[in-house]
C-alpha cells in the first residue's frame, strides 16, 4: 500500500494561519502563527523566518490547524502552548493563573534597582503569587534571596511550584495557601503584589481572550477596582522590614487613588513608575 501522506511547507501553513487570525482581529497574527507552529514542531518560532521551507508532517499539520482554530475563538496563546515568556524565563501557564504581562516586569525591574546584590539574605513575599512570575524572576536575579508566595488558589500554587522546579529555584521558594495576608507571618525586605484591579464595568469591556479564558478571581476587584488594595494595604506595614519596600501593580488611572489609600494607612509612596507604554504601573511603598 502506498503512503499517501504529503508533507507541507511551514511557510504555507503559516501564511494560511495568518490570514485566518487577521480575519478575526488578532493583533500580531504573524508572530502568533509562528509561535503556535513552533510549539507543535518543538522548534524556535524564529526558524520559520529563515527556513519557511521546513516540512511539516500530516500529524503536525492537523495539530497546528486545531490550535489556530482555537486561537480564532480568542483562547490565549499561552493556554494553547502551555507557556509564556516573562523576564526571559519560560513560565508554565494554565487557565488557573493570570497570563504574565510585560507591564508587570516593571515591578521586578524597580525591585532589583532598589535592592542590589548584597551579602545579607533578602526575604521576599509575593501576595497573590499566581504563576510565580514576580517572585521567581526576582529570585533568579538575586541568589541571596529567599521567598514565599501565597495564593488562595491551590491550582495556582501548584503551577508556581512547578515553575520554581523548572528554574531550579525550589530550594529558595516556598508556596502557601492564604487569603491575602491571613496566613502570613514575619517581616520581608521585598513584597510584590499584583492584585485584581479590574472594576465590574471594565470587566465587561475586556477582550474575549481575557474575559472568557483568564481566572475572574485574578481580575475582578469590585465596583471600583480597588477592593483588593483596600483589603491589603491597611496591613502591609507589619510585614515590611525596617528598610523594606512593597511593589504594587496598579491599573490605568489608579496610581493616584492607590497612593491615597496607602498614605491614609500610614504608608509612604516612594515613587510611581511607568510601564513600557508610559502608563504608571508600579507603586513603591515604604512604612514610616
State pLDDT tens for residues 133-183.
999 999 999 999 999 999 999 999 999 999 999 999 999 999 999 999 998
pLDDT at 132: 98
Using a CB cutoff of 8 Å and minimum separation of 24, what contacts does 11-15 make?
11/48, 11/52, 11/53, 11/54, 13/37, 13/56, 13/61, 13/64, 13/65, 14/48, 14/52
Letter string b/e over residues 48-68, b meaning 16 or more CB atoms within 10 A of that residue's CB: beeeeebebeeebbebbbebb
Instruction: Copy the grid coordinates of residue 206.
Output: 475586556
- Name the segment(s) of the chain with CATH classification 1.10.8.10: 8-73
pLDDT at 1: 38
pLDDT at 6: 56
Letter string b/e over residues 78-111, b meaning 16 or more CB atoms within 10 A of that residue's CB: bbbbebbebbebebbbeebbbbbbebbbbbbbbb
* Cα–Cα distance, 178 to 156 (Å, whole number): 12
Please give the share of the chain, as a percent, with pLDDT higher than 70. Answer: 98
* Cα–Cα distance, 94 to 173 (Å, whole number): 20
State pLDDT tens for residues 62-98.
999 999 999 999 999 999 999 999 999 999 999 999 9
CB 89 within 8 A of CB 136: yes
State pLDDT tens for residues 195-236.
999 999 999 999 999 999 999 999 999 999 999 999 999 999
- Name the segment(s) of the chain with CATH classification 3.40.50.150: 94-287
Mean pLDDT of 274-283: 96
CB 208 within 8 A of CB 155: no
Does the pLDDT of residue 5 top 70, yes or no?
no
CATH architecture of 94-287: 3-Layer(aba) Sandwich (3.40)
State pLDDT tens for residues 226-276.
999 999 999 999 999 999 999 999 999 999 999 999 999 999 999 999 999
pLDDT at 4: 47
3 state SS for the chain: CCCCCCCEEHHHHHHHHHHHHHHCCCCCHHHHHHHHHHHHHCCCCCHHHHCCCCEECHHHHHHHHHHHHHHHCCCCHHHHHCEEEECCEEEECCCCCCCCCHHHHHHHHHHHHHCCCCCCCEEEEEECCCCCHHHHHHHHHCCCEEEEEEECCHHHHHHHHHHHHHCCCCCCEEEEECCCCCCCCCCEEEEEECCCCECHHHHHHCCHHHHCCCCHHHCECCCCCCHHHHHHHHHHHHHEEEEEEEEEECCCCCHHHHHHHHHHCCEEEEEEEECCCCCEEEEEEEEC
pTM for this one?
Answer: 0.93
pLDDT at 3: 45
pLDDT at 263: 98
Q: 21 to each of 42, 75, 246, how far by Cα in Å?
A: 21, 12, 40
CATH code of the domain occupying 8-73? 1.10.8.10
* Cα–Cα distance, 25 to 260 (Å, whole number): 38
Number of Cβ atoms within 10 Å of the Cβ of 163: 29
State pLDDT tens for residues 94-133.
999 999 999 999 999 999 999 998 778 999 999 999 999 9
Amino acid at each position: 500500500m502506498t503512503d499517501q501522506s504529503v508533507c507541507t511547507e511551514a511557510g504555507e501553513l503559516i501564511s494560511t494561519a495568518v490570514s485566518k487570525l487577521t480575519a478575526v482581529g488578532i493583533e500580531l497574527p504573524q508572530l502568533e502563527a509562528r509561535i503556535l507552529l513552533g510549539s507543535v514542531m518543538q522548534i524556535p518560532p524564529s526558524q520559520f523566518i529563515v527556513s519557511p521551507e521546513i516540512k511539516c508532517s500530516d500529524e503536525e499539520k492537523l495539530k497546528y490547524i486545531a490550535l489556530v482554530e482555537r486561537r480564532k475563538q480568542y483562547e490565549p496563546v499561552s493556554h494553547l502552548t502551555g507557556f509564556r515568556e516573562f523576564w526571559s524565563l519560560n513560565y508554565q501557564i494554565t487557565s488557573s493563573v493570570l497570563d504574565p504581562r510585560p507591564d508587570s516586569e516593571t515591578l521586578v525591574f524597580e525591585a532589583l534597582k532598589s535592592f542590589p546584590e548584597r551579602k545579607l539574605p533578602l526575604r521576599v513575599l509575593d501576595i497573590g503569587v499566581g504563576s510565580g512570575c514576580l517572585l521567581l524572576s526576582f529570585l533568579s536575579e538575586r541568589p541571596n534571596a529567599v521567598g514565599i508566595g501565597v495564593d488562595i488558589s491551590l491550582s495556582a500554587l501548584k503551577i508556581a511550584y512547578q515553575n520554581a522546579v523548572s528554574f531550579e529555584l525550589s530550594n529558595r521558594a516556598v508556596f502557601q495557601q492564604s487569603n491575602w495576608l491571613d496566613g502570613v507571618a514575619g517581616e520581608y525586605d521585598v513584597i510584590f503584589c499584583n492584585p485584581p484591579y479590574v472594576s465590574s464595568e471594565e470587566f465587561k469591556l475586556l477582550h474575549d481572550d481575557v474575559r472568557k479564558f483568564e481566572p475572574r478571581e485574578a481580575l475582578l476587584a469590585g465596583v471600583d477596582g480597588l477592593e483588593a488594595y483596600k483589603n491589603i494595604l491597611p496591613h502591609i506595614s507589619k510585614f515590611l522590614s525596617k528598610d523594606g519596600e512593597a511593589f504594587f501593580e496598579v491599573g490605568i488611572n489608579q496610581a493616584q487613588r492607590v497612593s491615597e489609600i496607602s498614605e491614609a494607612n500610614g504608608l509612604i509612596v516612594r515613587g510611581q513608575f511607568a510601564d513600557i507604554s508610559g502608563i504608571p504601573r508600579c507603586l513603591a511603598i515604604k512604612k514610616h
